[in-house]
Amino acid sequence: MATLWRFESSSGHQLEYRALRKEKVLALGPYPERTLADARDLRDEARKRVRDGGDPSAERKLEGASSRSVLATQAKSFQSTPGSVALIDG
């Protein structure tokens, strides 16, 4: 596993790693919103997950998909409630 830090204004902090024989890049956050110390902590956590056989990028995608499905379920239950009114900011 190789760790590559790029300090470019467009990319921020990134971790390059290999999982399932594929090279992957995990974005750790844009600089300067994500401090170097925070990015290093995230890097260490991701490296532990890779070492244990996990894939941090795939895990992040699954977390996003599950939160979107929860929001969709809540929206459907709200729409099916009689007398519900949707508020739209605009």
> How far apart, in whole angstroms, are the C-alpha atoms of residue 16 and residue 30?
15
Give per-residue pLDDT as tens, 58-69.
Answer: 888 888 776 666
pLDDT digits (tens, 9 = 90+) for 34-87: 888 998 999 999 899 888 888 888 888 888 776 666 666 666 665 665 655 555
pTM value > 0.75: no
3-class SS at 3?
A: coil
For 16-76, the DSSP string reads EEEETTEEEEEEEE-TTTS-HHHHHHHHHHHHHHHHTT--HHHHHHHHHHHHHHHHHHHHH
What is the amino acid identity at position 4?
L
Which CATH entry fits the domain spanning 1-55: 3.30.160.390, 3.40.1000.10, 1.10.3720.10, 3.10.20.740? 3.30.160.390
